[in-house]
């Protein structure tokens, strides 16, 4: 769109470009900048238009984008163009992800590059390497307290090692995902250090106050994120004699996005990593980007404007790069991180589906799908060109942030039900096989979250200790059941390091002073590769899990109905233990897959009468894509064993 004010500003900016920029061949850059400029200008003006230095800041922003474009390697520009031509590429069912810490999966980045065959063996083709940048020892928040946004932690390697990983991945068609920690820096970041030295420019990068007056106002409506280990949202800095906003830990200083310099610095960092060959950037803690007195300081409208602006800028310089929103917030809020638009994601193309994750765990604890069904029924529709990241476990805790109305509609009282879940997963509920830990109990609100590895939460740790084969097989089946849903739901499934091998809790963090106040370390394991060899030995748990997941992944990739084109229909099946939905091929809707997951330990049946007319033929013959067999069926009922799932097609 041509708009006079913004485009005459653009002309002026281009006239004033530094000679080292204007001399370059900027053909694609100009086309994309022209196309996006009105949006970029409007957003930047909306956020920073009231400032006297608006125009020079706009100039700097354009120069930063131009520099990002100029530094983009030719090979990556080729990928950009390829993806521009096939803009739905990431909605395909072919993608399957895994998240891991470099030193949990391998020794370092170099070793990780050597271990890429493992991903191919399982079928993983998108790897989220958790934060690898410099963090102060003992104050790292698992890599999310960064002291240098451009330097890799020496213990993991250097930029050359990362480039090797990126090349190795690109050769094998594996996408590389890295984090951009947008919301805060470590208190040892150069900007923070300069602020402490009294440099006003850098003090303006953060939120700082001489006394408690404003902090106290903020506190009235801001929740505590880590109430046990880091209560409050401000930290006193004695050197500066100021209160600093620290929403997460007291060593993580929140960046102030009402300052355009912060925004431009972060765009520069985003483009720097995009140019190292990163395909997808996981934007950490995006809900927190804008702070406003009187609000919870989460999900603010301006946080969305910042993300839209980031997307628009990135599309100019590195359009092939996607964003993942890490916003672990209420379902109606999560959906907004795609950007409110008719079709195209205007903010992040991908978002963590924390709603599905928490609901799946509810299914495990209650052995029924009542809340799961209810929550999914009310999960707002996402945009067409956007997709979910569906996961069961990740490096963080599990919060039971369901919508209270859904909890009530499922027949539970919200407070008691959440308490039940916490008790169940921390093994405090009589008969529960789960071995999780309570995380961040908030005495004031009674809220608590859960930590623990997938295997331990599903009962495998306890079952293995008992040696009871039935208990072991129930735990294995639960793990597969959960994956059967994330692999078929629609979106990119994201497995977590160790889960395909049944790795249980790692209690060693308790002996490490830098970790023992944060029990999320219990589920950040180090793979024992000798033990992992058991995945090749029939009869072992490792084999059962690994071979089943490998098979499920291979089948997913072949099943076009599993691509994500808003082609899912949730079915109300009259049996509270079953989650049931159909997936259909959006080009040929008659090609359907009926997904049924039994959350009960006992056999259950699905009455075909109840779902007939929903694209399912009452008298049809089915075959299970997973086992290749017809399901047990009698009297127009399909029977499932405890914790069994089916991916059925009609024959
Ligand atoms: C994200 C990360 C989490 C971290 C937090 C603060 O939520 O996933 O591990 O503690 O951001 O950076």
Q: How far is the first Cα of the chain from the last one, in angstroms, to the nearest whole number? A: 50
* Crossing angle of the two packed helices 4-15 and 27-48, in degrees rounded to 10: 120
Token pair in block for residue 511: 């002996």
Residue 23: what pLDDT?
82
Report yes or no on whether pTM surpasses 0.95: yes
| Interval between CA 619 and ligand 1 midpoint (Å) | 50
Residue 532: what pLDDT?
98
Contact 532, 501 (CB under 8 A): yes
Mean predicted lDDT score pLDDT of the chain: 95
Q: How far is CA 379 from the centre of its chain?
A: 17
Burial of 210 (0-12, 13-18, 19+ CB in 10 A): exposed
Residue 394: what pLDDT?
98
Phi, psi of 74 (to 5 degrees): -55, -40
Residue 498: what pLDDT?
98
**Strand arrangement of the beta sheet that strand 242-245 belongs to:** 208-209, 242-245, 234-237
Nearest-CA residue for atom 12 of ligand 1: 144
pLDDT tens per residue, range 463-506:
999 999 999 999 999 999 999 999 999 999 999 999 999 999 99
Token pair in block for residue 631: 């399901």
| Interval between CA 141 and ligand 1 midpoint (Å) | 7
Token pair in block for residue 25: 């061949």
| Interval between CA 376 and ligand 1 midpoint (Å) | 25
Residue 563: what pLDDT?
97
Ligand 1 atom closest to 183 (CA): 12
Neighbours of 375 (CB within 10 A): 24
| Interval between CA 107 and ligand 1 midpoint (Å) | 23
Residue 613: what pLDDT?
77
d(C-alpha 547, C-alpha 545), whole Å: 6
| Interval between CA 187 and ligand 1 midpoint (Å) | 16
**Strand arrangement of the beta sheet that strand 604-607 belongs to:** 604-607, 637-640, 633-634
Q: Indicate the helix (H) or strand (E) that contains 32.
A: helix 27-48
| Interval between CA 395 and ligand 1 midpoint (Å) | 9
Residue 586 has pLDDT above 90, yes or no: no
Catalytic residue (one of 80, 161, 300, 326): 326
Residue 389: what pLDDT?
98
pLDDT tier, 259 (very low <50, low <70, confident <90, very high otherwise): very high
Neighbours of 282 (CB within 10 A): 25
595: helix, coil or strand? strand
d(C-alpha 115, C-alpha 111), whole Å: 6
Mean pLDDT of 279-294: 98
d(C-alpha 651, C-alpha 637), whole Å: 17
pLDDT tens per residue, range 386-434:
999 999 999 999 999 999 999 999 999 999 999 999 999 999 999 999 9
Residue 25 has pLDDT above 90, yes or no: no
| Interval between CA 406 and ligand 1 midpoint (Å) | 27
Contact 352, 399 (CB under 8 A): no
- The highest-confidence range among 14-18, 90-94, 444-448, by mean pLDDT, is 90-94
pLDDT tens per residue, range 514-545:
999 999 999 999 999 999 999 999 999 999 99
Nearest-CA residue for atom 11 of ligand 1: 285
Angle ∠(494,152,140) on CA atoms, nearest 5: 75
Which residue of 147, 284, 298 sits with most ligand 1 atoms within 8 Å of its CB, as the best mutation to test the pocket?
A: 284
Residue 518: what pLDDT?
94
Length of the chain: 651
Residue 618: what pLDDT?
65
Nearest-CA residue for atom 7 of ligand 1: 285
Contact 174, 127 (CB under 8 A): yes
What distances in angstroms separate CA 576 from CA 180, 477, 580, 600, one per listed residue?
41, 19, 10, 9
d(C-alpha 495, C-alpha 96), whole Å: 8
Residue 153 has pLDDT above 90, yes or no: yes
d(C-alpha 648, C-alpha 580), whole Å: 11
Contact 59, 12 (CB under 8 A): no
Taking Cα atoms as reference points, which of 380, 447, 369, 381 lies closest to residue 410? 369
Ligand 1 atom closest to 184 (CA): 12
Which residue of 101, 135, 141 sits with most ligand 1 atoms within 8 Å of its CB, as the best mutation to test the pocket?
A: 141
Q: pLDDT higher for 609 or 614?
A: 609
Q: How far is CA 609 from the centre of its chain?
A: 38
Ligand 1 atom closest to 144 (CA): 12
Ligand 1 atom closest to 520 (CA): 9
Which residue of 144, 189, 354, 522 sits with most ligand 1 atoms within 8 Å of its CB, as the best mutation to test the pocket?
A: 144
Ligand 1 atom closest to 141 (CA): 10
Ligand 1 atom closest to 396 (CA): 9
| DSSP summary character for residue 535 | G
One DSSP character per residue, 364-392 reads HHHSS-HHHHHHHHTSPPPPTB-EEEEES
d(C-alpha 300, C-alpha 623), whole Å: 48
pLDDT tens per residue, range 300-351:
999 999 999 999 999 999 999 999 999 999 999 999 999 987 678 899 999 9
Which residue of 285, 357, 451, 523 sits with most ligand 1 atoms within 8 Å of its CB, as the best mutation to test the pocket?
A: 285
Residue 558: what pLDDT?
97
Taking Cα atoms as reference points, which of 552, 457, 522, 468 lies closest to residue 124? 552
By percentage, how much of the chain surpasses pLDDT 70? 100
Residue 608 has pLDDT above 70, yes or no: yes
Mean pLDDT of 188-205: 98
Residue 568: what pLDDT?
96
pLDDT tens per residue, range 423-460:
999 999 999 999 999 999 988 777 899 999 999 999 99
Residue 560: what pLDDT?
96
Q: Establish whether 326 is a catalytic residue.
A: yes
493: helix, coil or strand? strand
Residue 606: what pLDDT?
95
d(C-alpha 600, C-alpha 644), whole Å: 9
Taking Cα atoms as reference points, which of 585, 645, 648 lies closest to residue 611? 648
Residue 21: what pLDDT?
86
Mean pLDDT of 269-287: 98
pLDDT tens per residue, range 228-238:
889 999 999 99
Q: Mind spelling out the 3-state secondary structure of 396-422? A: CCECCCCCHHHHHHCCCCHHHHHHHHH
Catalytic residue (one of 284, 397, 406, 499): 284
Residue 342: what pLDDT?
67
- Which residues does ligand 1 sit against, CB inside 6 Å? 141-142, 144, 181, 248, 284-285, 326, 395-396
Nearest-CA residue for atom 8 of ligand 1: 396
Residue 599 has pLDDT above 80, yes or no: yes
Nearest-CA residue for atom 9 of ligand 1: 396
Q: pLDDT higher for 264 or 10?
A: 264
Mean pLDDT of 84-90: 95
Q: Indicate the helix (H) or strand (E) that contains 605.
A: strand 604-607
Q: pLDDT higher for 10 or 105?
A: 105
| Interval between CA 326 and ligand 1 midpoint (Å) | 9
- Residue where the block lists tokens 């407070």: 415
Contact 192, 185 (CB under 8 A): yes
Residue 630: what pLDDT?
94
Q: Establish whether 396 is a catalytic residue.
A: no
Mean pLDDT of 261-281: 98
One DSSP character per residue, 241-299 reads TEEEE-SSSTTEEEB-TTSHHHHHHHHHHHHHHHTTT-SEEEEETGGGS---TTS-SSS
| Interval between CA 183 and ligand 1 midpoint (Å) | 10
175-181 and 126-129 as β-strands: parallel, antiparallel, unpaired? parallel
Looking at 123-259, list the stretches that DSSP marks H as alpha helix, in order from N- to C-terminal side. Answer: 159-171, 190-196, 200-203, 213-219
Taking Cα atoms as reference points, which of 14, 60, 55 lies closest to residue 33? 14
């Amino acid at each position: 769109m041509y708009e006079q004010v913004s485009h005459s500003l653009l002309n002026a900016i281009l006239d004033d470009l530094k000679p080292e920029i204007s001399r370059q061949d900027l053909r694609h850059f100009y086309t994309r900048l022209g196309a996006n400029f009105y949006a970029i200008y409007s957003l930047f003006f909306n956020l920073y238009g009231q400032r006297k230095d608006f125009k020079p800041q706009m100039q700097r922003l354009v120069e930063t984008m131009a520099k990002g474009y100029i530094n983009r390697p030719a090979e990556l520009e080729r990928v950009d163009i390829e993806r521009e031509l096939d803009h739905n590429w990431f909605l395909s069912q072919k993608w399957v992800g895994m998240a891991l810490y470099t030193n949990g999966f391998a020794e370092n980045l170099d070793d990780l590059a050597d271990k890429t065959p493992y991903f191919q063996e399982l079928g993983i083709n998108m790897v989220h390497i958790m934060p690898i940048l410099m963090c102060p020892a003992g104050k790292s928040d698992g890599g999310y307290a960064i002291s240098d946004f451009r330097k890799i932690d020496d213990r993991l390697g250097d930029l050359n090692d990362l480039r090797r990983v990126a090349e190795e991945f690109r050769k094998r068609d594996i996408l590389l995902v890295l984090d951009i920690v947008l919301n805060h820096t470590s208190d040892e970041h150069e900007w923070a250090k300069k602020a402490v030295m009294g440099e006003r420019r850098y003090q303006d990068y953060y939120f700082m106050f001489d006394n408690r007056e404003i902090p106290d106002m903020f506190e009235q409506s801001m929740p505590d994120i880590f109430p046990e280990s880091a209560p409050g949202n401000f930290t006193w800095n004695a050197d500066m004699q100021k209160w600093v906003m620290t929403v997460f830990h007291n060593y993580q200083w929140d960046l102030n996005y009402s300052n355009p310099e912060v925004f431009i610095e972060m765009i520069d960092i985003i483009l720097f990593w995009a140019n190292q060959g990163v395909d997808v950037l996981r934007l950490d803690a995006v809900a927190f980007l804008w702070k406003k007195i009187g609000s919870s300081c989460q999900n603010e409208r301006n946080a969305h404007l910042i993300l839209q602006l980031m997307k628009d800028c990135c599309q100019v310089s590195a359009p092939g790069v996607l964003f993942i929103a890490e916003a672990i917030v209420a379902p109606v809020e999560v959906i907004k991180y795609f950007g409110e638009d008719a079709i195209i994601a205007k903010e992040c193309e991908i978002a963590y589906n924390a709603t599905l994750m928490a609901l799946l765990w509810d299914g495990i604890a209650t052995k029924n799908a009542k809340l799961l069904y209810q929550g999914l029924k009310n999960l707002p529709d996402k945009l067409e060109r956007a997709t979910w990241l569906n996961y069961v476990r990740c490096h963080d805790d599990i919060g039971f942030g369901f919508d209270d109305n859904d909890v009530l509609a499922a027949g539970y009282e919200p407070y008691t039900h959440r308490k039940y879940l916490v008790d169940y997963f921390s093994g405090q509920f009589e008969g529960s096989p789960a071995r999780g830990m309570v995380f961040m109990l908030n005495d004031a609100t009674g809220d608590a979250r859960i930590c623990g590895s997938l295997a331990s939460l599903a009962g495998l740790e306890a079952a293995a200790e008992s040696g009871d084969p039935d208990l072991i097989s129930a735990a294995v089946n639960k793990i597969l059941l959960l994956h059967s849903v994330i692999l078929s739901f629609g979106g990119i499934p994201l497995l977590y390091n160790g889960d395909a091998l049944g790795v249980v809790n790692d209690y060693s963090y308790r002996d490490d002073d830098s970790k023992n106040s944060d029990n999320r370390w219990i589920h950040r394991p180090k793979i024992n590769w000798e033990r992992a060899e058991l995945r090749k030995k029939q009869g072992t748990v490792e084999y059962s899990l690994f071979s089943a997941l490998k098979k499920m992944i291979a089948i997913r990739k072949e099943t076009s109905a599993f691509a994500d084109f808003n082609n899912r229909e949730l079915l109300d099946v009259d049996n509270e233990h079953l989650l049931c939905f159909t997936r259909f091929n959006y080009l040929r809707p008659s090609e359907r897959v009926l997904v049924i997951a039994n959350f009960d330990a006992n056999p259950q049946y699905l009455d075909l009468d109840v779902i007939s007319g929903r694209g399912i033929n009452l008298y049809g013959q089915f075959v299970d894509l997973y086992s290749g067999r017809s399901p047990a069926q009698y009297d127009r009922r399909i029977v499932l064993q405890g914790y069994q799932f089916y991916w059925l097609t009609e024959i």
